[in-house]
Structure 1
């Protein structure tokens, strides 16, 4: 899997989880266990993407030298 594919995959997962969380909140409420779990899972995905972007930036700086 190349860099662009991984980026696309992470963003796609983030988008799907965001939609799932919104639907859950709409039908079960903001404080439901399901909505909170979706929110936590979304946080994990966003953190993974931010870590990935940071590593990508570091690699770009190293390769530019």
Structure 2
């Protein structure tokens, strides 16, 4: 019974983290702003950290099965 929520949380975190990292990479590659009103390097670094953190959290959730 407890594996259902872990699978859902793992999938949600993994998909969000992967999408955030891909989106940030594309924005940085084309020189477009990642976040409005924030320094480009700061936004790219923080977005990358949050994307990687979310991806790792999703992998951790899958590891708890």
Task: Give the TM-score, by structure 2 length.
Answer: 0.55
Corresponding position: 1:24 with 2:45: no
- In terms of fraction of residues, the more helix-rich structure is 1
Alignment RMSD, CA only?
2.4
Unaligned runs of 5+ in 2: 1-7, 33-38
**Segments ≥4 residues shifted beyond 6 Å:** none
The 1:51/1:3 distance shift into structure 2, 3 A limit, reads closer
Point out which structure has higher relative CO (alpha carbons under 8 A, 6+ apart): 2
Unaligned runs of 5+ in 1: 26-32, 61-65
How many residues are matched?
Answer: 51
